[in-house]
Structure 1
Amino acid sequence: MPQLTHNESTKVLRPRKHPWLALIALRSVLFYVGASLAALPFLLLWPGICLSRDTVYAVTDRYLRIQLWLLRVMCGVRYEVRGQENLPDTPVLMASQHESTWETLFFQLLLKRPVMYAKQPIFSYPIFGPLMRKLGHVPVATSATGDTMRDGFRAGAAAVKEGRNLLIFPSGTRRLSQDGQVQAGVGVLYQLAGVPAVPICLNSGACWPYGTLLKYPGTIIVEIGAPIEAGLDRRSFMAQLSAALHG
């Protein structure tokens, strides 16, 4: 899989060293103000949560497009998706690097509305909880036991068998350094789903870094790699996925 170049994957300068920190902070505040104001009309449509899943997706997709526009205009954050031809029309397991909140928000819009795993407490939030359930996302217990993990795997595999793509973050939590290990459970999920796995590399942490509200100007590159065929033994699959994501 083609890896992002050094310039594309360069990490953000530490905030205290960034020469335009004050301007970046101001633009970030403007983005959050704009995103909050843009959300108001969509909140009026909240009773529409009882409509079909496709209708709810159409509404949330529109809001996500507004957020992407605000990111570009207010913060100078753009994006580019490469390798779209590597996403087949049949369901796949999408295995992505995870650097920031950016991909958890916008992969819905950019990658054919995949089912995602999310922490269970989110499903109890007043607005996000019903929305997550409506869109078919899978809750994951914060202190997962063997039984809850198996339930999560089965729920994800069931979504794939219903014809949907399933998005996972094999290295777990958000991190700028992409030298982490692929979690062992990914191999179990791959075998249960029985579909090809598509590795995805990105550098979202350079513009939307974890642990800060600041949004740094630049271009987020999403690189979709060639699918890893279905039916491999677990060790071979894990080796190929690790090589594709971590080089």
Structure 2
Amino acid sequence: MKRLSRSYPVLVIRSLTFYALAGLAVVPFLVLWPAILLSRDVVYAITDRYLWVQLWLLRVVCGIRYTVSGQHHMPDEPVLIASQHESTWETLFYQVLLGRPVMYAKKPIFTYPVFGPVMRKLGHVPVESSATGDAMRAGFRAGAAAVKDGRSLVIFPSGTRRVADAGQMQAGVGVLYQLANVAAVPVRINSGACWPHGTFVKYPGVIKVEIGPPFPAAMDRRSFMSALTKMLQDET
């Protein structure tokens, strides 16, 4: 405990340094802002490079590394990527680690300066903050449409970044799986150990991204949800 109390100020300084350098790293990319008018591939190429810079900063400043295993399980065709969700880390870096998938994001984010237009250009799916039935159904249809358009879609079955609730699967995942009618690839991750929810402090360590064997399309919804829950909760 004494060792932790002495090292915590160092972690705070390293974390603040990371955010400062990540902010400064945005400046050169802002020069390329007019590229937003070009193709989606061009915008992806630019944002990919910024994300690689962030990953480098996390490694050299905060001591956070990552590994990705099971890439051979990822099919060539569009799939649902059903991932555990422990921190902001995966919402940022799945773009460069899992083949530029589409993600859901809260609708207000799409109105943010700079970031909003990029989200729209990359084809991410806006969802209403309200949990009304109509809003949920619209979100399911938009996600399924993105998959049918040839894009893989990331979903977080737990619907939360709180590790304590990570085992609770959202029923809507099964609905989306049936609508999309494609294979679902489970992904396990331990990002919360290095990038905890609810604090800016980053902890050194290795974030492990484990890609599991895909569940085939057209499984019975209940069987799919049971198998997915077991895969994402299995600590072995």
Per-residue deviation, 1:29:
1.2
Query: Counterparts of 2:200 and 2:170 in 1: how far apart (Å)?
Result: 28
Is residue 151 of structure 2 the alignment partner of residue 168 of structure 1?
no
Is residue 132 of structure 2 the alignment partner of residue 145 of structure 1?
yes
Q: TM-score, normalised by structure 1?
A: 0.91
Per-residue deviation, 1:163:
1.1
- Provide, for residues 198-233 of structure 1, a one-character-per-residue CA deviation record: whole Å limited to 9, x for no partner: 111110011011111111100000000110111111
| Structure 1, unpaired ranges of 5+ | 1-13
Mapped contact 1:178–1:246 kept (Cα < 8 A): no
| Structure 2, unpaired ranges of 5+ | none
Query: Counterparts of 2:103 and 2:213 in 1: how far apart (Å)?
Result: 21
Q: Structure 1's 107 and 49: CA in aligned 2 closer, same or farther, altered over 3 A?
A: same
Is residue 189 of structure 2 the alignment partner of residue 180 of structure 1?
no
Mapped contact 1:97–1:178 kept (Cα < 8 A): no
Per-residue deviation, 1:180:
2.5
Per-residue deviation, 1:26:
1.0
2:122 maps to 135
Query: Counterparts of 1:84 and 1:92 in 2: how far apart (Å)?
Result: 13
Letter paired with 1:195 = V
1:94 maps to 81
Q: TM-score, normalised by structure 2?
A: 0.96
Mapped contact 1:228–1:237 kept (Cα < 8 A): yes
* 1:1-247 alignment, distance < 5 Å: 17-177=4-164, 179-247=166-234
- Provide, for residues 29-83 of structure 1, a one-character-per-residue CA deviation record: whole Å limited to 9, x for no partner: 1111110111001111111111100000000000000000000000000000010
Letter paired with 2:192 = G
Query: Counterparts of 1:123 and 1:220 in 2: how far apart (Å)?
Result: 28
SS of the residue 1:163 aligns to = coil
Query: Counterparts of 1:114 and 1:19 in 2: how far apart (Å)?
Result: 41
The alignment covers a number of residue pairs equal to 234
- Per chain length, whose mean CA-contact separation is higher, i.e. which structure has more relative contact order (CA < 8 Å, sep 6+)? 1
Query: Identity over the aligned pairs, expressed in percent?
Result: 68
Q: CA RMSD in A?
A: 1.6
